[in-house]
Amino acid sequence: MNEVILELKKVIKRFSGVEVLHEVSFNLKPGEIHALLGENGAGKSTLIKIITGVHQPDGGEIWLNAHPVQFRDPHESRQAGIAAIYQELSLFPDLDVAENIFVGRQPTTNSGRIDWNRLYDEAGKLLTSLGVHLDLKQKTRQLSIAQQQMVEIARAFSINARILIMDEPTSSLTLNEVSDLFRLVRRLRDGGTSIIFISHRLEELFELADRVTVLRDGNFIDTKSLNEVSRDELIKLMVGRTISNLFPKQAANIGPVVLEVQNLSHNGLFENINFELHKGEILGLAGLVGAGRSNFWCGATRFRKNKNR
């Protein structure tokens, strides 16, 4: 695994004259899962949008398979075998799974009509090869976020993507969905696809990724093999100071109760919720996806403003 499939050399990006990427370098090897890590605003999404042709760099070079390339738009990047899955999924909700996989590229008969038999046949084979079980004729608006991601991944593979980029794919998935996604991502990696994976969850990186590149304030900090770096070292690279300072405790002025909720329930959505909210307090309510947070974040942990996590 010594060769490099994709390389960014000293890439610079400015928005309205403000430089947000400062000579960032990055390289991706065939068949690796490479994580991008950095605090909010570090430049991760901007970097991948340069790789996918959404943004153009203001300096530096992109090399693909040892040749310099320029992607003027996402179409050109896709043509070169690079597919990206963003947090905002881009499926057509009223088309079904198979139609979404082949949208814009439907197989046609000799007379130029859509060859529906082939479309469903090829979509079925593709999903089987990826180990994904979905009803080909289901409208994608009826699918969970995790299932929609699977459709996007299948679409990426139907265009022979050799590089798959995933920007925080796990942020709204349940634990089971995350493990299904990881199984699929590993399968793709083992099939020779290179994957760039962004997540803020360090434990996910250690579970999934082979290497990690750390960005801080638009600067390249380091690239490490996940088996040669500790969690604390990664946090230090990411935030530029030791872990004890990651969430510095500050005094907060917590006042009297301004809202009190007692035994609040709503028909099957949530039950017996109790909490008090104080003036000047940030109250966090935690729970897994599906626990009912959207209806009423029904976790039981309370965090005081600025309290160490």
Ligand X SMILES: Nc1ncnc2c1ncn2[C@@H]1O[C@H](COP(=O)(O)OP(=O)(O)OP(=O)(O)O)[C@@H](O)[C@H]1O
Minimum distance of ligand X from residue 204's CB (angstroms): 14
Q: Which does 169 bind (CB under 5 to 8 A by kind): ligand X, Mg ion, none?
A: none
Amino acid, single-letter form, for residue 302 = R
Site for ligand X contains 290 (CB under 6 A): no
Residues 97-126 that bind ligand X (CB under 6 A): none
If the CB atoms of residues 45 and 148 are measured against ligand X, the closer one turns out to be 45
Angle at 130 between CA 155 and CA 2, to 5 degrees: 90
Residues contacting residue 275 through CB under 8 Å, at least 6 positions apart: 260, 261, 283, 285, 302
If the CB atoms of residues 120 and 220 are measured against ligand X, the closer one turns out to be 220
If the CB atoms of residues 58 and 122 are measured against ligand X, the closer one turns out to be 58
d(C-alpha 171, C-alpha 173), whole Å: 6
Cα–Cα distances (Å) from 80 to 2, 26, 35, 122, 156, in that order, read 21, 18, 21, 22, 12
Q: Using the structure block, give the residue that is written with the tokens 């994957």.
A: 195
Residues 257-276 that bind ligand X (CB under 6 A): none
Residues 21-60 that bind ligand X (CB under 6 A): 38, 40-46
DSSP, res 31? T
Residues that contact ligand X, how many (by CB under 6 A) = 10
d(C-alpha 132, C-alpha 151), whole Å: 9
Site for ligand X contains 20 (CB under 6 A): yes
d(C-alpha 136, C-alpha 232), whole Å: 44
If the CB atoms of residues 45 and 100 are measured against Mg ion, the closer one turns out to be 45
Minimum distance of ligand X from residue 214's CB (angstroms): 11
Site for ligand X contains 132 (CB under 6 A): no
Q: Helix crossing, 145-158 with 116-130: angle to 10°?
A: 110
Cα–Cα distances (Å) from 199 to 158, 204, 242, 288, 307, in that order, read 25, 7, 21, 17, 24
Q: Which does 162 bind (CB under 5 to 8 A by kind): ligand X, Mg ion, none?
A: none
Minimum distance of ligand X from residue 234's CB (angstroms): 15
Minimum distance of ligand X from residue 36's CB (angstroms): 8
Q: Using the structure block, give the residue that is written with the tokens 């405790």.
A: 249
If the CB atoms of residues 98 and 205 are measured against Mg ion, the closer one turns out to be 205
Minimum distance of ligand X from residue 304's CB (angstroms): 24
List residues binding Mg ion (CB under 5 A): 45
Cβ atoms within 10 Å of 118's Cβ, excluding its own: 14
Residue nearest to Mg ion (CB): 45
Minimum distance of ligand X from residue 109's CB (angstroms): 43
Minimum distance of ligand X from residue 218's CB (angstroms): 7
If the CB atoms of residues 159 and 202 are measured against Mg ion, the closer one turns out to be 202
Q: Which does 15 bind (CB under 5 to 8 A by kind): Mg ion, ligand X, none?
A: ligand X
Q: What is the largest CA-CA distance in the chain?
A: 75
Q: Which does 140 bind (CB under 5 to 8 A by kind): Mg ion, ligand X, none?
A: none
Cβ atoms within 10 Å of 27's Cβ, excluding its own: 17
Minimum distance of ligand X from residue 43's CB (angstroms): 4
Closest CA to 53 of 35, 38, 68, 75: 75
- Whether 206 and 229 have beta carbons less than 8 Å apart is answered as no
Interface residues with ligand X (CB under 6 A)? 15, 20, 38, 40-46
